[in-house]
A and B are shown apart, each in its own frame.
Chain A
């Protein structure tokens, strides 16, 4: 019988040489006349170990990593196909503490199954949510989603059930489901990992959403930086169509649901839901005024559910196990789990799915292992380029929408970027303004003009030209951007700027206590 060997085709693993490892393992097995079956899985999210090769043994899967092509011959020599000892051996995959301490609900199958095998998906519990949804009315499905307390994982944290209810109750001939896969925040890669590692769970979630609210068409708006996710999604959609999980009369329900993938063109602003809808309509990605909300008048003016990849991919387990099962995870008004993405200067960067309530310190040190450089942690940016910088002393904050907000931050899409003590926060603040200026859609003045003025002011502060007056003006400018911008880009850019100024005034050449 052939031995099954798992070698990820996840972009991150590929970026570390997974393709040449796969080639080398296939060639070495041929040379030694050994019968192996290579499965190209997603990543488990332990990126310091990528490319992480797993072998299926009678006592479970065992892992080796990080494997380079040059290690392959010695892996065969030490009998890795039967779980043999080797300097790269990390033991049984499920026993790796980083994984064992997680609560994987949305990412339950990522890295485990063959992403393109519908059979594998179904064998590992896939499509049970859709099965149950087909036995319920649309209103009952929406009820489960509302009961779960699931909030949008894209960043805004808006309750998914309320969006769905609004679309369900809005009468229209045509409705849409749009999946926001324009994951542009630095420090985030959960959407990518999910689409590359378990595309069917997203397809299932979108299908449930479509059937529940009465939408017949779905679009996935995917950023162009994710070519591997695009290939995986296209293949998975074709397989779902062929097996009648998509298309006309889905699984004999009499209902139609189709999904198309649309690729973006490198505009960060298109991650904002109304700019995304404009882009899907073939226009410039300009932010729309709200109201009307997309749930009432969205794509082509029709009622549209817009949710992030992780939100939609969580729907199957919510519907399968019921809203109360999901709600039992988490704290306060943040229910369920979230995939936290550990990035930047960390020894053990990767994806950690945990119930809300885990502290930032646990993530940075217990999971992340502190900095990769070995130097002290100085600042941690939570929630992407529009998120606040936290100083080391503030890391005990719980990862929870409200707790982070109480500290003047946002949870965003769950990205965590760690910096060591070589970071210059004045430069990072300037970068935040520069990024806003680059990516502003230009519709509202505070964002379009404010970002450039902000950059100039920070330059003046750094160069010590009217430093105190420039800092005062920068604070006023940030106040205007916060309160008068049309969307989160202009509205939240002040967070990284003001948090840097508040917690690290010395980096700006400013003395005295933070304001």
Chain B
């Protein structure tokens, strides 16, 4: 379990040092840390603050404002389900309920085996192919509970 929470301090140092002179550097730095580590550890906030000569409170304030920036390590596969109007009009709520039940977790939670994290998202810009979900970075349109189960089954197969 501990290994799941380990992260490379050097990665954060490299990102922050390479971007610190950009105008408005904090956002690109947090973005890249999130993209590379999958989350923004508390200690990384302190490191970034030191490199940018900002207070920890300022960096925390920004990193806690944006939904994308996570403060806990995600599961190996992040599943995002669109909950906005267009997807609701096409059965998005039924799909979301199915996914929650299937994974046994709610939105913002990670399965106990750390394989899946479920996140809500408010519009993926795929509204002409609603309902839409993202599995491990891959966008799926006109998703159905059957598609989802198929996808989970395939992944289970891959992991065994």
Instruction: Tell me, in angstroms, the Cα distance from A112 to B119 when the chains sit together.
Output: 35
- Distance of B42 from chain A, by nearest CB (Å): 18
> Do A186 and B141 touch (CB < 8 A)?
no
Of B34, B122, B129, which one neighbours A15 at CB under 8 angstroms? B129
Q: Are A183 and B125 closer than 8 Å at their CB atoms?
A: yes
Q: Are B89 and A189 in contact (CB under 8 A)?
A: no
Return the chain A residue nearest B80 by Cβ: A225
Query: Is B30 interfacial (CB-CB < 8 Å)?
Result: yes
> Is the CB–CB distance between A282 and B25 below 8 Å?
yes
Interface string of B35-79 (1 = CB under 8 A from A): 000000000000000000000000001100111110000000000
Contact A282 B139 (CB under 8 A): no
A285 touches B65 (CB 8 A): yes
Beyond A267-B66, A341-B128, A344-B127, 9 additional pairs, beta carbon < 8 A: A12-B126, A186-B127, A189-B127, A191-B125, A279-B24, A282-B62, A283-B26, A300-B23, A419-B89
Q: Select B27's contact among A48, A282, A342, A439, beta carbons within 8 Å.
A: A282
Q: List residues of A (218-263) whose CB comes within 8 Å of B's CBs.
A: 223-227, 262-263
Q: Are A14 and B139 in contact (CB-based, < 8 A)?
A: yes
Q: Is the interface of A mostly helix, strand, loop or mixed?
A: mixed
Q: Is A417 an interface residue (CB 8 A)?
A: yes
Say if the beta carbon of B98 comes within 8 Å of chain A: no
Q: How far is the CB of B101 from chain A (nearest CB, A)?
A: 20
Closest chain-A Cβ to B57's Cβ sits at a distance in Å of 12
State which residues 367-416 of A face B: CB under 8 Å. 372, 381, 385, 415
Q: Which residues of B69-112 have CB atoms within 8 Å of chain A's CB atoms?
A: 69, 84-90
Q: Mark A278-313, 1 if CB is under 8 A from B, else 0.
A: 011111110000000000000010000000000000
- Known contacts A15-B140, A282-B26; A189/B125 CB under 8 A: yes
Interface size of B by CB at 8 A reads 39
Q: Is B142 an interface residue (CB 8 A)?
A: yes
Q: A266, B66: Cβ atoms under 8 Å?
A: yes
B67, A11: Cβ atoms closer than 8 Å? no
Q: Which 6 A-B pairs have the closest CB atoms?
A: A186-B84, A15-B141, A265-B66, A47-B128, A343-B127, A282-B26
B28 touches A267 (CB 8 A): no
**Residue B132, interface by CB 8 Å:** yes
Complex contacts, A282 vs chain B, CB 8 Å: 23-28, 62
Q: Check if B137 is an interface residue, CB within 8 A of chain A.
A: yes
Greatest chain A CB density within 10 A among B25, B66, B69 is at B66
In this complex, what residue of A is CB-closest to B87? Answer: A186
B117: interface (CB < 8 Å): no
Docked pose: A191 CA to B65 CA in angstroms: 25
Given the complex, which residues of B lie within 8 Å of A191, measured CB to CB? Answer: 125
- Chain B residues whose CB sits within 8 angstroms of the CB of A281 once the complex forms: 23-24
- Bound state CA distance, A204 and B137, in angstroms? 30
> A223 — nearest CB in chain B belongs to which residue?
B125
Chain A CB within 8 A of B31 CB: yes
A76 within 8 A of B: no
B144 adjacent to chain A (CB < 8 Å): no
> What is A's interface to B at a CB cutoff of 8 Å?
11-12, 14-16, 45, 47-48, 50, 183-189, 191-192, 223-227, 262-268, 279-285, 300, 341-345, 349-351, 372, 381, 385, 415, 417-420, 423, 428, 431, 435, 438-439, 441
Residue contacts A-B, CB under 8 angstroms, 8 given: A16-B129, A187-B86, A187-B123, A227-B137, A265-B27, A283-B26, A341-B128, A417-B85
Verify B127–A341 contact, CB threshold 8 A. yes
Hey, which chain A residues are within 8 Å of B126, CB to CB? 11-12, 15, 189
B28 and A342 contacting across the interface, CB-CB below 8 Å: no
Contact call B123/A184, Cβ cutoff below 8 A: yes
Query: Are B24 and A280 touching (Cβ within 8 A)?
Result: yes
CB of A188 within 8 A of CB of B125, answer: yes
Chain A residues positioned under 8 Å from B137 (CB to CB): 227
Contacting pair A50 B129 (CB below 8 A): yes
Q: Contacts of B28 on A, CB cut-off 8 Å? A: 262-263, 282
- Provide the bound-state CA to CA distance between A188 and B125, in Å: 6
Q: Are A284 and B125 in contact, with the CB atoms below 8 A?
A: no
Chain A's nearest CB lies how many Å from the CB of B52? 8
* Interface of chain B residues 124 through 148 with chain A (CB within 8 A): 124-130, 132, 137, 139-142
* A270, B68: Cα distance in complex, Å: 13
**Nearest residue, chain A, Cβ from B93:** A427
Which of B61, B87, B130, B140 gathers most chain A CB within 10 Å?
B130
Q: Which residues does chain A contribute within 8 Å of B15, judged by CB atoms?
A: none
Q: What chain B residues lie within 8 Å of A283 (beta carbons)?
A: 24, 26, 62
What CA separation (Å) do A191 and B123 show in the bound complex?
Answer: 13
Question: Looking across the interface, which residue of chain A has its beta carbon closest to that of B26?
Answer: A282
B27 near A280 (CB under 8 angstroms)?
Answer: yes
Q: Is A415 within 8 A of B27, CB to CB? A: no
Alpha-carbon distance A332/B25, docked complex (angstroms): 44
Which B residues touch A48, using CB under 8 A?
128
Contact (Cβ within 8 A) B30 A265: yes
| Complex Cα gap A231–B121 (Å) | 21
Determine which of A226, A263, A420 lies in contact with B125 in the assembled complex, contact meaning CB atoms within 8 Å: A226
A202: shortest Cβ distance to chain B, in Å? 15
Chain A hits for B84, CB < 8 A: 186-187, 385, 435
Residues of chain B from 1 to 44 with CB closer than 8 A to chain A in the complex: 23-28, 30-31, 34
Residue numbers in B under 8 Å from A267 (CB-CB): 65-67
A residues in contact with B121, CB < 8 Å: 225, 266
Cα–Cα distance between A266 and B69 once the two chains are bound (Å): 8
A266 touches B127 (CB 8 A): no
**Contact residues in B for A226 (Cβ distance below 8 Å):** 125
The residues of B that contact A45 with a CB separation of less than 8 Å are 128
User: Taking the nearest CB of chain A, how far is it from the CB of B89, in angstroms?
Assistant: 4
Q: For B59, give the chain A residue with the smallest CB separation.
A: A282
B88 pairs with A431, CB closer than 8 A: yes
Report if A186-B122 is in contact (Cβ < 8 Å); known contacts: A344-B89, A385-B85: yes
The residue in chain A whose Cβ has the minimal distance to the Cβ of B120 is A438
Residues of A within 8 A of B86 (CB): 186-187, 343-344, 415, 417
Instruction: Please give, as numbers and ranges, the residues of chain A lying within 8 Å of B23 by CB-CB distance.
Output: 280-282, 300
